[in-house]
């Protein structure tokens, strides 16, 4: 294929807007050329929560909004030959694929051909020795919830070439959703580093949905974005060399500018000359970004180098109990009263719990977990302060003490506290390591 491929993004995280896909799909249909759709719904913690959901119910563990995301557009995509690629399989891609097939039947649609990716899950006991080698004794001391390797785009491309209309993945690297579509469309080899590098950065621009179309960019009076309430999601036009033009769905709000693209291009990049992915090492140090029309920005000059020899693995394990509580103080000397309340809690709980203290409305983003910077900051500035305290502990009963003590501030002082909110939940901790590629071989299978 040589015709320019259009790829739309319809989600940037689990819990994103479920009405975003329809304007994107309508724009892809109006284009009347090769098109595809991605949903990026999987963050690191999202996958761990999905693994816990699968533990509780083996039929779950995939994107909870799957029906809401797909129902408005599934028929349109199937009728117009628009393949869908997503990581909404999360911890249970086979169950997600079965649900998509059932949803198609419920909607009176022909059953789509669905490919299911596998190989990322290293949570089983057969992988424990490798993780212990890479992470040490934590693998013996903790209850590991999950371990998942970041897979790449090659299996996505192979499944599409075999005729998959929908590809359901678990933990693949976010840009790989887009790259797999481009590889399948243009027939690129898995070692075509320049093209893979360019298309990887296209995927990087698409992966967070409306971040590149003005959502995370908007800052009134400084970085104004029109009609943000109706922000449109992005569409990339990728040519045969992997260069692209970024636009957005027609008749939507938002903004695609040199500035929005640059912000997203640099998002999460540790080294702009060496962005490591399972597919390629992308290099944007010589890239150019140019406005070529209203809400149309061209990205060129990305380079690619040989992919890493190892894959990144995220390991989540139980981290005890997380407790938090909040209470508000307003009016004269509000900040002083909030500080006094924090001191009360620290004196009563400090021997058993290490508290994180924030004065929301004054210094919540500047204090460290021990509140050291907080105490050194001039007092008396705030008139409407919400005190937040948080702590973790392996023993649930110990963690529950925090909630009781925050509630007691109602009448035990300081004066005028109100609006108490407390919470208690299990905590997940994470570690990362690298493993040889052969330890996490990727594969796919067709549901039918």
Structure pTM?
0.91
Quickly state the pLDDT bin for 91 (edges 50, 70, 90).
very high
> pLDDT, tens digit, for every residue of 243-262?
999 999 999 999 999 999 99
The secondary structure of 159-201 as a DSSP string is HHHTT-SEEE-SSB-TTHHHHHHHHHHHT--TT-HHHHHHHHH
The tokens describing 179, both together, are 């790259």
Q: What is the percent of the chain where pLDDT is above 90?
A: 83
pLDDT band at 152 (very low <50, low <70, confident <90, very high): very high
* Closest by CA position to 172, among listed 56, 241, 244, 93: 93
- Which CA distances in Å does 106 have to 60, 64, 99, 103, 114? 19, 18, 10, 5, 16
Q: What is the structure's pLDDT at 319?
A: 87
Query: Which of the four pLDDT bands, split at 50, 70 and 90, describes residue 314?
Result: very high
Q: What is the pLDDT of residues 198-243, one digit of tens each?
A: 999 999 999 999 999 999 999 999 999 999 999 999 999 999 999 9
pLDDT per residue over 380-426, tens digit each? Answer: 555 789 999 999 999 999 999 999 999 999 999 899 999 999 999 98
pLDDT grade for 351, boundaries at 50, 70 and 90:
confident
pLDDT in tens, 359-390: 887 655 455 666 554 555 555 555 789 999 99
**Residue 387: which H helix or E strand, with range?**
strand 384-393
100 pLDDT tier (thresholds 50, 70, 90): very high
Q: Output the pLDDT for position 369.
A: 61
Predicted local confidence at residue 137, as pLDDT = 75
Residues 6+ apart with CB under 8 A from 293: none
Contacts of 438 (CB under 8 A, 6+ apart): none
State the average pLDDT over residues 48-65. Answer: 94
């Amino acid at each position: 294929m040589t015709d320019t491929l259009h790829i739309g993004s319809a989600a940037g995280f689990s819990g994103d807007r479920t009405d975003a896909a329809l304007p994107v799909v309508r724009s892809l249909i109006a284009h009347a050329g090769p098109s595809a759709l991605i949903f990026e719904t999987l963050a690191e913690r999202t996958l761990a929560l999905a693994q816990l959901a699968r533990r509780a119910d083996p039929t779950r563990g995939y994107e909870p909004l799957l029906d809401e995301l797909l129902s408005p557009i599934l028929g349109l995509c199937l009728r117009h030959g628009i393949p869908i690629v997503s990581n909404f399989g999360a911890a249970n891609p086979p169950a997600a694929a079965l649900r998509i097939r059932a949803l198609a039947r419920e909607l009176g649609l022909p059953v789509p051909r669905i490919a299911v990716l596998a190989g990322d899950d290293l949570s089983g006991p057969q992988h424990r020795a490798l993780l212990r080698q890479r992470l040490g004794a934590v693998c013996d001391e903790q209850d590991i919830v999950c371990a998942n390797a970041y897979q790449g785009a090659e299996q996505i491309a192979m499944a599409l070439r075999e005729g998959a209309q929908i590809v359901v993945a678990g933990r693949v690297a976010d840009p790989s959703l887009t790259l797999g579509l481009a590889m399948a469309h243009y027939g690129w080899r898995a070692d075509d580093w320049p093209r893979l590098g360019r298309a990887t950065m296209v995927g990087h621009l698409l992966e967070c949905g409306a971040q590149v179309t003005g959502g995370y960019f908007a800052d009134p009076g400084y970085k104004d974005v029109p009609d943000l309430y109706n922000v449109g999601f992005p569409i990339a036009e990728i040519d045969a060399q992997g260069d692209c033009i970024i636009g957005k769905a027609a008749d939507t709000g938002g903004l695609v500018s040199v500035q929005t693209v640059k912000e997203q291009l640099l998002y999460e990049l540790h080294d702009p000359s060496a962005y490591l992915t399972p597919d390629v090492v992308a290099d944007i140090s010589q890239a150019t970004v140019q406005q070529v029309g209203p809400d149309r920005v061209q990205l060129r000059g990305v380079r690619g180098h040989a992919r890493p020899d190892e894959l990144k693995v995220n390991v989540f394990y139980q981290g005890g109990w997380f407790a938090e509580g909040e209470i508000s103080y307003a009016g004269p000397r509000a900040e002083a009263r909030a500080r006094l309340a924090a001191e009360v809690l620290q004196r009563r709980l400090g021997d058993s719990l290490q508290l994180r203290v924030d004065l929301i409305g004054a210094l919540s983003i500047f204090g460290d977990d021990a509140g050291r910077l907080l105490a050194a900051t001039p007092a008396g500035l705030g008139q409407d302060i919400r005190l937040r305290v948080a702590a973790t502990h392996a023993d649930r009963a110990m963690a529950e003490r925090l909630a009781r003590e925050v509630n007691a501030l109602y009448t035990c002082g300081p004066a005028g506290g109100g609006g108490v909110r407390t919470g208690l939940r299990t905590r997940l901790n994470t570690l990362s390591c690298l493993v040889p590629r052969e330890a996490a071989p990727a594969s796919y299978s067709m549901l039918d």
